[in-house]
Amino acid sequence: MALPVEKYLRVAKMPHIWCPGCGHGIVLQSIVRAIHELELDTEKTVIVSGIGCSARAPGYLNFDTLHTTHGRAIAFATGIKLAKPELNVIVITGDGDAAAIGGNHLIHAARRNLDLTVICFNNNIYGMTSGQYSPLTPQGSYATTSPYGMLENPFDLCNLVMGAGGTFAARSTTHHARQLTNIIKEAISHKGFAFVDALSQCPTYFGRRNKLRTPREMMKWFEDRAVPARNWDKMSPEEREGKFPVGVLTKTQAPELTEVYGQLIEQLQQRGGE
Amino acid sequence: MALPVEKYLRVAKMPHIWCPGCGHGIVLQSIVRAIHELELDTEKTVIVSGIGCSARAPGYLNFDTLHTTHGRAIAFATGIKLAKPELNVIVITGDGDAAAIGGNHLIHAARRNLDLTVICFNNNIYGMTSGQYSPLTPQGSYATTSPYGMLENPFDLCNLVMGAGGTFAARSTTHHARQLTNIIKEAISHKGFAFVDALSQCPTYFGRRNKLRTPREMMKWFEDRAVPARNWDKMSPEEREGKFPVGVLTKTQAPELTEVYGQLIEQLQQRGGE
Amino acid sequence: MIKNQARLLQGNEAVVEGAIAAGLKFFAGYPITPSTEIAEQCAAKLPAAGGTFIQMEDEIASMAAVCGASLAGAKSMTATSGPGFSLKQENLGFAVKGEIPCVVVNVQRVGPSTGMPTSPAQGDVMQARWGAHGDHEIVALCPSSVEEAFSLTVEAFNIAEEYRTPVILLMDEVIGHLREKVVLPSKEELVVKEREKPSVPQGEYKPFAMKQGNIPGVPPLAAYGEGYRFHVTGLTHGEDGFPTNNPAIAEKQLKRLNEKISSNKEALVKVEEFHLDDAEIVVFAYGATARSARKAVNDARAQGIKAGMLRPVTIWPFAEDALLKVKAKSPKAVIVAEMNLGQMVLPVKRVMGDSVPVVQVNKLAGQLIEPEEILSAVKEAI
Amino acid sequence: MIKNQARLLQGNEAVVEGAIAAGLKFFAGYPITPSTEIAEQCAAKLPAAGGTFIQMEDEIASMAAVCGASLAGAKSMTATSGPGFSLKQENLGFAVKGEIPCVVVNVQRVGPSTGMPTSPAQGDVMQARWGAHGDHEIVALCPSSVEEAFSLTVEAFNIAEEYRTPVILLMDEVIGHLREKVVLPSKEELVVKEREKPSVPQGEYKPFAMKQGNIPGVPPLAAYGEGYRFHVTGLTHGEDGFPTNNPAIAEKQLKRLNEKISSNKEALVKVEEFHLDDAEIVVFAYGATARSARKAVNDARAQGIKAGMLRPVTIWPFAEDALLKVKAKSPKAVIVAEMNLGQMVLPVKRVMGDSVPVVQVNKLAGQLIEPEEILSAVKEAI
Amino acid sequence: MRLELRLAGEGGQGLITAGIILAEACAEYTDLNVVQTQSYGPESRGGASRADVIISSHEIDYPQVKKPDVLIVLAQEACDKYLPTVKDGGTVIIDTTYVKPVPEAQSQRVKVIEFPVSAKARELGREIVANIVALGLLVETTGIVPKDAVIAAILDRVPKGTEELNKQAFAAGVEAAKAL
Amino acid sequence: MRLELRLAGEGGQGLITAGIILAEACAEYTDLNVVQTQSYGPESRGGASRADVIISSHEIDYPQVKKPDVLIVLAQEACDKYLPTVKDGGTVIIDTTYVKPVPEAQSQRVKVIEFPVSAKARELGREIVANIVALGLLVETTGIVPKDAVIAAILDRVPKGTEELNKQAFAAGVEAAKAL
Amino acid sequence: MGQTLQWEISVNSKWCKKCGLCVDYCPRDVLEISDIPTVKDAALCIGCLQCERHCPDFAITVKRRENND
Amino acid sequence: MGQTLQWEISVNSKWCKKCGLCVDYCPRDVLEISDIPTVKDAALCIGCLQCERHCPDFAITVKRRENND
Ligand SMILES: Cc1ncc(C[n+]2csc(CCOP(=O)(O)OP(=O)(O)O)c2C)c(N)n1
Ligand SMILES: Cc1ncc(C[n+]2csc(CCOP(=O)(O)OP(=O)(O)O)c2C)c(N)n1
Ligand code: SF4
Ligand code: SF4
Ligand code: SF4
Ligand code: SF4
Ligand code: SF4
Ligand code: SF4
Ligand SMILES: [Mg+2]
Ligand SMILES: [Mg+2]
């Protein structure tokens, strides 16, 4: 389906600032495509981000957009959604933004099952500040602040969201652009908190330091390691080694916070009216 | 085993400030007992806390103690442990301290597998500020800020820690004081990040508002709902309803951060010396 | 018995009454002594008023949620005390930069750090002005009574909405916890202001326009979901809200941001002048301390001393003009009484210059300054 | 070719060199432009120096970890810029209250909020003083060159350790990113100070004693793990470190906390006086701006104008005495040049009083003030 | 006229509530001005508890009680702590159920009224209404607030079903004061 | 003597490195004073890149380059942007591989040197050494820094195994300047 | 030995907050409480430490008598 | 119909950053790149959209020809 770019992008702001071959553009396109295919009302959809290369995305999207402080996008979005539950609220965040400084807001929104769609442009690195390690940088990888290789364990963001009680968590990559679009559609449609771990490549800082010389090489890395979720469960720990599951990893139903709160308001106002 | 209280407590500061029947004293005693039974060196053990009723515990403990800012105990402890890896560092925290404002530090310490023992005095409520809901307050329960019943889902803190990649997570309650002591011993002995969800009663604020009229009634609540971990796995979702598992819920081995960092220092210094 | 019009209200409760009267529709907070009653009252009262209360995971998130809700069109508030106020600074700066109307209550307790949580102080006055990084003006109001806790909350919302700016309600523990007899104004008596909405077609809306708007320098503000599809960022931006590195545009916008406050001081800065006309000794005091000062002035007058009080009701922007008027009359001394080590005394000294001696009365360990302490300073200065 | 003694170093790099020379053993930080190179250099260099680098989850955690490490006996540092500095305020206040030696670097960029991340500013000068809640004194140093980035970092550690206090190294983007030729002092030339250790038996140790210690008001500090088993809290505490609500004790401790800085100003406050002796026009400038000021002064002198510069090297405590000396000579004007809307000009005005006109030269959109701009202010004022 | 009152005892004895009721009575049912304050422990964990009320026909500037005109104490610790704060010539009402007789030195300085407040409440059915008995004593002793105002304020606040008990408690306090 | 130099082009052309090498040469191998600065894009994502170097026999106060004495540009955008900033009578070196001839108006104002810097580098084996060729041009043109100092500084910095290539590149630049 | 007193139970009245948990938890009904807990019948005590472990105030201790062999 | 050109491929040269991913991802070798990508043999295109979906810059679009029925 051809994408009516002018409808969704602030074309006057293009081309965007991202480096050649940066995966963030592919994730962004997947989001736009998902919005288009779902026929979301562009006047009732708000896009919120924190700070980072990824977080620059809203500036190119022709919606109500909010570029907040580093790590806090979900908290700002919480206010928007609670104040106007009829809006679709989509959060665009980076692995540093969502999982380092913003980790607490992520797990709390997941716990509350607030109807937000959070899409993490996960490139395993702090792109905007030129390549420091993030909580997603694989052990042993190089970054400007891990000159001897990353010493810490990385998060598995979907596991984290599930551990926090999230009702929807999924993963895909820029290589799997089509799947990514579909997953984002499913995430937006999910009533409740939905998290998408969108693996993206930063050729400029992650690739260059880690001998992944081209964007395609980085995407090949995704291609080689991704395992469809339905196969993942059947794999032994040894088979899983060096691989990761893609697809929808958890999807359950639970009361959504703005609905629950709306009911309370209704109840109390009726009671007050009696 | 009789507990040589004078060795471990700052007896001049006793009696402590906690209300009659407050579970925090029982958890504290379990910690002291664990330390005693493990024969930890009292001069090489540091106790760190945030802010809350629970966080007042270190003031009564005759060790190096640090009463920090709300939610940040684990981050302060991270500095202590990294600067002096030979110290035993135990963090005492509350459910608000650890899981509300401090949630991010909890998951990051778990991810890093830093050798800290974190004991959460989990009374489902903010005791110190007089009874607001916490991220652990069960749905429907009353608190001063949930006058119509708690609307949000609570965390399962052990699940959260596991989702973050933690290598040790366990739960017990003030009712299970003996088990609690043993679990704390195991947590302290664990090389790596260890988390103990210690369910505690706040008769003053949680009990009073939720028709649990005595401390014993609150502990009975624990008694009735706790299921040994080994049985939990065999239970159906229906059987689990209204219950929770106690015992060691996860225990795995992974490289510990100060060890890994120590190796790096050694390596680089040798290299420098060559 | 028949009730009269009056009620007994706690300062913190009065804030909530004022906020709801002013149209509060969203409160996000995190409990902290001595402000917690504000959150608790909001939890109890907001839903019935069609608004939403949420206890966030921390103060940072609370401030963020308040900004988000305000951009979605809801009048929004948060409340805290020193430690939480410190945490809010980054997002408070975002609200300043994004020109997001909201009210931030700080009920001051003794610092630094955890300090004395249940004891009063006025140690965050300078922080209110300078706590966030970067150049910015701020509006802060300082109630001296429960009645003012109500009326200044309404005023705070009015200023926030009219000037598109966060407004700080800077209370102290004494006023926050004080229960006092008050008569609340009726709906008709209340002046409630609403933010100005854009009058241009959707495609032409510039959320940070230089010249539009009722108040010079304050551009109208659309709400999310109304079709304007506008962008808000904490980066330095142009009239359209998009980031810029053009120093000329940046300078213009940063100046407008500051001047919308600094050049409207006349409208914004309110003071109470008490026996100032012939005062030879002027006591400068605010918040709870002003109540002691008032008594001290009365007592001094009773003893034949011509004392007076200047009370800044608006604590920021600084009441420079009122002080210059005082200076013009060459009083024998200005006594600055405050529950801190000496904070507002600094700008007072700056304005008084070399000609008028400035005397300090300070107390910093959690006790309200007593009238006698001020009185004896008055007597010494005469 | 044979190298000389000099090196080309970036300001941020020089900070790390200085820190390691001063004995840095622990760095916790979170990347932010334009301070990131400090973290990166620490990551590369600390382990070989036997120290530990960690990138924490945010700036709050970084400040916390630094406090923890310092209490464990390690000289500790963190580095950030405006947004992160705002976030650190609460724990910076804890460091003040707990009297925990540490160094906090803020490389200033344009605010408010995200502002202009790669452009210089001096908009956090007042925040450095007042950013944390509650009454507290702070020490802040402000380098004007890469060489000073090195030497003032060493000085910052020395002050931190000697006075048991956090010290802020307040840089700006110009100095942080500037590469400059510097000759670093040899180990022998360097003065490195260590914190005073308790001399009393373990059982008698009072970590917040009123009178002990080499410097009046600064009690010796044991390290965790040395057997002293002491308590540190952010609550107002007595000499033994345990919380107290006794106002008399609280007052004494809070006063000591402040006076250990304020009454040692003579030792702490360093200024550079440049052509001040006969100056009719005095330029007050700091950080990168002082380099423009120096050129302006030279150019003015070349044109026969008696200009001079007062540069506060220590930006807090305020260089009041040096300014009073200037005032005593009744210059025609003091020109305050700063990359902000006018911050340090406020205390300068306070000290200058009514007699000496104070003129402002400001720039706030991310550009260094040019010598010509200062020069023309000088000419106008003459 | 400015009257400063202090009610002190232990957490759980309901003295803060009593203070608030008294203040509400003044505020909502009389022309008197009133402010009420209370102690907030460092950590509000049980222990001592104190409510202060200032009643005045004029505006109330300084809102704190330094030297109460009247003190009522329901616990020994509270008595020891606050007795010395009472104004010379002021009045102290002690609950003899829990408080030992006032030492000679003090009883010469202030007027002492003794009554087994808590015992009386117990006698009425539930010790929990000791605070209302105390209120009766206080109101009758000071004579400053109309009793019907206080009764109205009591009824505004107490849980449904306990109205009678509370009225009796208040009356008992009033009677006791009259009898003394 | 104070000389202000500017090296400008696109990210990836290595001009920042060239600027740093030049500054290091001055700092570590001569008595000259030197400061070096560079552009930091708003988001440091590719795009334009600029390094400034000020060399002086005296102390350097104001550390920024307003009007360079010499500008070398390796990309058209950089040329368009910075050409007007060059001091009247200053020198501009353009890499004709990527930069169009300088417009008449400007070429009267400043001295223009043209050389296919990048093409030359490609010719030597790898275009990546264009920055070093540029350095050679700059050093020879200005004559302010001893060439052996610059060569030493180059060798301090470049990766092992590329020393010869870089020396050749530098020499090529120097030659070109001499020839012009 | 037999049924002689093996266990010494002591209550620290300065620390005890009278919550009654020790009494609640004693499986042998050894303790009773009006103000602070007191030992009703020490002979029944089996030294299970339930009282001690559940005391939030470190106020009750149970020790084996030293002279009971 | 047959093998006539069904797909119209266009590259927005103002947005294209020359990363080459479109070329890499094309399964039919339709595209080639020296500066910006160009169509080597449009007839081979199967309209799979791999190029478009993997373009980070919204710079390449593949549309079904409208006059191809
Ligand atoms: C409070 C604060 N701390 C730090 C920064 C600096 N900063 C900006 S973006 C960023 C990391 C971005 O990484 P990520 O979220 O992974 O996004 P990416 O650039 O990789 O897309 C950091 C540390 C900031 N702007 N604010
Ligand atoms: C930054 C900050 N925010 C809020 C507070 C107020 N506060 C103190 S303790 C506390 C909650 C304590 O709850 P929890 O951690 O569950 O401990 P408990 O008292 O229940 O043991 C809060 C919100 C604070 N001291 N600092
Ligand atoms: S730095 Fe990395 S993440 Fe940022 S735009 Fe470039 S490639 Fe993308
Ligand atoms: S308030 Fe609750 S948690 Fe705090 S001491 Fe009392 S019972 Fe314990
Ligand atoms: S030790 Fe056991 S049996 Fe003995 S008193 Fe305690 S609880 Fe009862
Ligand atoms: S459990 Fe402890 S505090 Fe409670 S009554 Fe028994 S001895 Fe006293
Ligand atoms: S649509 Fe498919 S076949 Fe056609 S050019 Fe694109 S990738 Fe190649
Ligand atoms: S993928 Fe897009 S940006 Fe990259 S070369 Fe192709 S059209 Fe250009
Ligand atoms: Mg990233
Ligand atoms: Mg709790």
Q: What digits encode the pLDDT tens for the residues A152-174?
A: 999 999 999 999 999 999 999 99
Tokens of B228: 């040994």
**How confident is the model over A116-123, as a mean pLDDT?**
98
Tokens of D143: 């380098």
**Residue in D47, D64, D243 closest to B72 by CB:** D64
> Using CA atoms, how far apart are residues A128 and D36, in angstroms rounded to an integer?
11
Distance (Å) from the alpha carbon of A209 to chain F's nearest alpha carbon = 15
Q: Which chains touch F (3 or more CB pairs under 8 A)?
A: A, C, D
By the CB < 8 Å criterion, does D130 face chain C?
yes
Q: Would residue C289 count as lying in a domain?
A: yes
C-alpha atoms less than 13 angstroms from C-alpha of D302 in its C-beta half-sphere: 7
Is residue E47 over pLDDT 80?
Answer: no
> Using CA atoms, how far apart are residues D61 and D74, in angstroms rounded to an integer?
17
Q: Is the CB of G10 under 6 A from ligand 6?
A: no
CA separation, residue F61 to residues A270, D146, D275, D379 (Å): 73, 12, 15, 20
Which residue is closest in CA terms to ligand 2's atom 6? C32
CA B172 to chain centre: 10
Tokens of C253: 């916008």
**How confident is the model over C315-332, as a mean pLDDT?**
98
Is residue C115 over pLDDT 60?
Answer: yes
Best of F29, F62, F66 to disrupt the D interface (most D CBs within 10 Å) is F62
| pLDDT value of position F44 | 46
Amino acid in the structure at residue C222:
A
| pLDDT value of position D348 | 98
Name the pLDDT band for C199 (thresholds 50, 70, 90): very high
> Using CA atoms, how far apart are residues D295 and H6, in angstroms rounded to an integer?
69
Is residue A76 over pLDDT 60?
Answer: yes
Q: What digits encode the pLDDT tens for the residues B35-82?
A: 999 999 999 999 999 999 999 999 999 999 999 999 999 999 999 999
**How confident is the model over A191-214, as a mean pLDDT?**
97
Residues D36 and D175 both lie in one domain: yes
CA separation, residue D260 to residues B273, C338, C341, D243, E161 (Å): 42, 22, 14, 20, 61
Chain D meets chain C (3+ C-beta pairs below 8 A)? yes
For residue C319, how far is its CA from the centre of ligand 10 (angstroms)? 44
Is residue B198 over pLDDT 70?
Answer: yes
Q: Which residue of B has its CA nearest to A160?
A: B163
Q: Report the alpha-carbon angle D208-D209-D210, nearest 5.
A: 115
| pLDDT value of position G5 | 76
Q: Is the CB of G9 under 6 A from ligand 6?
A: no
Which residues have C-beta under 5 Å from ligand 9, the single-atom ion? A 94-95, 123
Q: Which residues pair with F115 in a beta bridge?
A: F95
CB D88 within 8 A of CB D104: yes
CB contact under 8 A, E44 and B130: yes
Which residue is closest in CA terms to ligand 2's atom 26? B70
CB contact under 8 A, F27 and D181: yes
Domain of residue C337, CATH code: 3.40.50.920
**How confident is the model over B234-241, as a mean pLDDT?**
96
For residue H7, how far is its CA from the centre of ligand 7 (angstroms)? 9
Which residue is closest in CA terms to ligand 6's atom 8? G16
| pLDDT value of position E48 | 80
Distance (Å) from the alpha carbon of D3 to chain B's nearest alpha carbon = 22
Tokens of E120: 């009386």
> Using CA atoms, how far apart are residues F156 and F17, in angstroms rounded to an integer?
12
> Using CA atoms, how far apart are residues F32 and F153, in angstroms rounded to an integer?
14
Which of C172, C189, C206 is a domain's end point? C189
Q: What is the mean pLDDT of chain B?
A: 97
Distance (Å) from the alpha carbon of C26 to chain B's nearest alpha carbon = 14
| pLDDT value of position A273 | 55
Ligand 4 pocket list (CB less than 6 A): B 18-19, 22, 24, 53, 123, 127, 202-205; E 45
CB contact under 8 A, A69 and C91: yes
Which percentage of chain D shows pLDDT scores above 70? 100
Residues C181 and C276 both lie in one domain: no
Domain of residue D144, CATH code: 3.40.50.970
What dihedral angle (degrees, nearest 10) is formed by the CA atoms of C371, C373, C377, C378? 20
Name the pLDDT band for A1 (thresholds 50, 70, 90): low
Q: Is the CB of G18 under 6 A from ligand 6?
A: yes
The residue among D315, D23, D70, D15 whose CA lies nearest residue D193 is D23
CB contact under 8 A, E43 and B128: yes
> Using CA atoms, how far apart are residues C10 and C13, in angstroms rounded to an integer?
5
Best residue among B17, B51, B104 to mutate for probing ligand 2's pocket (most ligand atoms within 8 Å of CB) is: B51
Chain H residues whose beta carbon lies within 8 Å of the beta carbon of residue A200: none
For residue D21, how far is its CA from the centre of ligand 3 (angstroms)? 35
Q: Is the CB of A127 under 6 A from ligand 3?
A: yes
Tell me whether the omega of the peptide bond preceding residue B4 falls within 30 degrees of 0, making it cis.
no
Q: Would residue D170 count as lying in a domain?
A: yes
Domain boundaries, chain F: 2-179
For residue G53, how far is its CA from the centre of ligand 4 (angstroms)? 18
User: CATH fold of B17-273, please?
Assistant: Rossmann fold (3.40.50)
Chain E contacts in chain C segment 178-217 (CB below 8 A): 178-182
**Residue in C47, C58, C114 closest to B51 by CB:** C114
Q: Is the CB of A22 under 6 A from ligand 3?
A: yes
> Using CA atoms, how far apart are residues F122 and A74, in angstroms rounded to an integer?
49
Alpha carbon distance, N-terminus to C-terminus of chain F:
25
For residue A127, how far is its CA from the centre of ligand 7 (angstroms)? 30
C-alpha atoms less than 13 angstroms from C-alpha of A135 in its C-beta half-sphere: 30
| pLDDT value of position B128 | 95
A220 CB neighbour count, 10 Å cutoff: 15
Is residue D19 over pLDDT 80?
Answer: yes
By the CB < 8 Å criterion, does C171 face chain E?
no
| pLDDT value of position G1 | 45
Which residue is closest in CA terms to ligand 3's atom 2? A202
Q: Is the CB of G30 under 6 A from ligand 6?
A: no
Which of C141, C163, C189 is a domain's end point? C189
By the CB < 8 Å criterion, does C235 face chain B?
no
**How confident is the model over F42-63, as a mean pLDDT?**
85
Which residue is closest in CA terms to ligand 1's atom 6? D32
Amino acid in the structure at residue G13:
S
| pLDDT value of position E43 | 45
CB contact under 8 A, H55 and A26: yes
Q: Which of A268-272, D301-305, F106-110 has the highest mean pLDDT?
A: D301-305
CB contact under 8 A, A164 and B160: yes
> What is the total residue count of chain A?
274
Q: What digits encode the pLDDT tens for the residues D321-342?
A: 999 999 999 999 999 999 999 9
**How confident is the model over C347-376, as a mean pLDDT?**
97
Is residue H2 over pLDDT 70?
Answer: no
For residue D29, how far is its CA from the centre of ligand 9 (angstroms)? 17
Is residue D220 over pLDDT 80?
Answer: yes
Domain boundaries, chain A: 17-273
Is residue D229 over pLDDT 90?
Answer: yes
Chain B residues whose beta carbon lies within 8 Å of the beta carbon of residue D231: 58-59, 65-67
Distance (Å) from the alpha carbon of E44 to chain D's nearest alpha carbon = 13
> Using CA atoms, how far apart are residues A102 and A105, in angstroms rounded to an integer?
6
By the CB < 8 Å criterion, does C123 face chain E?
no
CB C344 within 8 A of CB C338: yes
**How confident is the model over B134-145, as a mean pLDDT?**
98
Best residue among H11, H14, H22, H61 to mutate for probing ligand 8's pocket (most ligand atoms within 8 Å of CB) is: H22
Q: What digits encode the pLDDT tens for the residues C261-290?
A: 999 999 999 999 999 999 999 999 999 999
| pLDDT value of position D285 | 98
Is residue D84 over pLDDT 50?
Answer: yes
Chain B contacts in chain C segment 171-210 (CB below 8 A): none
Which of D170, D189, D208 is a domain's end point? D189
Amino acid in the structure at residue C162:
E
> Using CA atoms, how far apart are residues G52 and C224, in angstroms rounded to an integer?
60
For residue D116, how far is its CA from the centre of ligand 9 (angstroms)? 20
| pLDDT value of position B271 | 81
- Domain limits for position C327: 270-381
| pLDDT value of position B273 | 55
Is residue H3 over pLDDT 70?
Answer: no
**How confident is the model over D71-82, as a mean pLDDT?**
98
| pLDDT value of position D164 | 98
Ramachandran angles phi, psi of C312, nearest 5° = -75, 115
Per-residue pLDDT of chain G (69 residues; tens, 9 = 90+): 445 679 999 999 999 999 999 999 999 999 999 999 999 999 999 999 999 999 999 999 999 987 645
In D23-81, which ranges are continuous DSSP H helix? Answer: 36-45, 59-71
Ramachandran angles phi, psi of G33, nearest 5° = -140, 130
| pLDDT value of position F43 | 45
| pLDDT value of position E44 | 45
CA separation, residue A7 to residues A40, A63, C229, F106 (Å): 12, 10, 12, 43
Q: What digits encode the pLDDT tens for the residues C4-39?
A: 999 999 999 999 999 999 999 999 999 999 999 999
Q: What is the mean pLDDT of chain F?
A: 94
Pairing of strands A125-126, A132-133: antiparallel
**Structural domain count of chain C:** 2
Which residue is closest in CA terms to ligand 8's atom 2? H55
Q: Which residues pair with C237 in a beta bridge?
A: C243
Name the pLDDT band for C211 (thresholds 50, 70, 90): confident
Residues C166 and C19 both lie in one domain: yes
Q: What is the mean pLDDT of chain E?
A: 94
| pLDDT value of position E135 | 97
Class of domain F2-179: alpha beta
Chain A residues whose beta carbon lies within 8 Å of the beta carbon of residue F43: 17, 53, 56, 128
Chain B residues whose beta carbon lies within 8 Å of the beta carbon of residue D224: 46, 64, 66, 80, 84, 87
Q: What is the mean pLDDT of chain D?
A: 97
Best residue among B17, B205, B219 to mutate for probing ligand 4's pocket (most ligand atoms within 8 Å of CB) is: B205
**How confident is the model over A79-92, as a mean pLDDT?**
98
Is residue C146 over pLDDT 90?
Answer: yes
Which residue is closest in CA terms to ligand 5's atom 3? G45
| pLDDT value of position F107 | 87
